[in-house]
């Protein structure tokens, strides 16, 4: 088996709140192989978001080692982390997180801006990415002019435009009506079939069922199977 994309070994994340120490993640071991579609499932407060921040290189482990695409993330400084993040990870957020008052095309092109890609190439790649997601006729629409499902597809187009090693999705269907949510979920399955590596974080077992493999999180640790609700 080839080198995993995501490799967490004994990762802890402890928040120091003055006298109180809050353990958000305890001793996490997690591996995601290339081409795998993994769902991280857990109720709120289980440490999902913290795990997503660490996997997404937005935060660093308190202890333990995290290797993303064979790079030990702990050795990078903030700027190095930002650069590495922009090349390696495509984010899809629950609340889409598109730039307001900015067209779909410019939103999708934005990550390439920080990679120093020329404007002409940026726009060409952003257009191609949007067209692949069936948004070829919405290039000049701002987020306010798009439905929730369309906004999330723009966000997915943005995540894909850099051709990242890992797609990291945080409750991507959480803000969507069920039919639009199903569409987005179908899109993730398509991406998976096209060979993308996806980590999807959710509290919804039905959503998690779309993945190959489910990792259950409870009280900051990985458990074998979910406790009965």
SS3 content of the chain, % helix, strand, coil (to 5): 35, 25, 35
1, 18, 19, 78: residue in contact with another protein (rule CB under 8 A): 78
The answer to whether 51 and 42 have CB atoms below 8 angstroms apart is: no
To another protein, the closest distance from the beta carbon of 65 in angstroms equals 21
Q: Is residue 196 near another protein by the rule CB under 8 A?
A: no
H or E element, residue 184: helix 178-193
48, 127, 158, 196: residue in contact with another protein (rule CB under 8 A): 158
To another protein, the closest distance from the beta carbon of 6 in angstroms equals 17
Q: Which DSSP string do the residues of 62-94 spell out, in sequence order?
A: SEEEEEETTEEGGG--HHHHHHHHHHHEEEE-T
Q: CA gyration radius for the chain?
A: 18
Q: Is residue 15 near another protein by the rule CB under 8 A?
A: no
Q: Is residue 79 near another protein by the rule CB under 8 A?
A: yes
To another protein, the closest distance from the beta carbon of 227 in angstroms equals 28
Q: Kindly identify the residues of this chain, within the stretch 87-126, that bind another protein according to CB under 8 A.
A: 87, 91, 93, 97-101, 110-111, 113-116, 119
To another protein, the closest distance from the beta carbon of 42 in angstroms equals 18
CB-hemisphere CA count at 13 Å for 138? Answer: 24
Nearer to another protein, 77 or 137 (CB): 77
User: Would you state the torsion angle of the CA atoms of residues 20, 21, 22, 24, taken in this order, to the nearest 10 degrees?
Assistant: 170
- The β-bridge partners of 180 are none
The answer to whether 34 and 80 have CB atoms below 8 angstroms apart is: no
Binding site for another protein (CB under 8 A): 53, 56, 58-59, 78-79, 82-83, 85-87, 91, 93, 97-101, 110-111, 113-116, 119, 158, 162
């Amino acid at each position: 088996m080839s080198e995993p994309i995501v490799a967490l070994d004994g990762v802890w994340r402890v928040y120091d709140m003055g006298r109180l120490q809050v353990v958000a993640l305890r001793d996490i071991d997690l591996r995601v192989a290339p081409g795998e579609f993994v769902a991280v499932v857990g109720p709120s407060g289980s440490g999902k978001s913290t795990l997503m921040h660490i996997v997404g290189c937005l935060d660093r482990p308190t202890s333990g080692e995290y290797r993303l695409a064979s790079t030990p993330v702990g050795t990078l400084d903030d700027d190095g982390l930002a650069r590495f993040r922009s090349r390696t990870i495509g984010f899809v957020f629950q609340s889409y997180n598109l730039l307001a008052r900015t067209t779909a095309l410019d939103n999708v092109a934005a990550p390439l801006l920080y990679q120093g890609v020329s404007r002409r190439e940026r726009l060409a790649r952003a257009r191609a990415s949007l067209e692949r997601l069936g948004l070829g006729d919405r290039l000049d629409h701002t987020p306010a002019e798009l439905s929730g499902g369309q906004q999330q597809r723009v966000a997915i187009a943005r995540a894909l435009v850099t051709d990242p090693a890992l797609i990291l999705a945080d409750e991507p269907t959480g803000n969507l009506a069920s039919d639009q949510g199903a569409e987005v979920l179908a899109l993730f399955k398509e991406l998976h079939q096209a060979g993308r590596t996806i980590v999807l974080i959710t509290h919804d077992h039905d959503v998690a069922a779309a993945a190959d493999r489910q990792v259950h999180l409870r009280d900051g640790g990985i458990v074998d199977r979910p406790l009965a609700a």
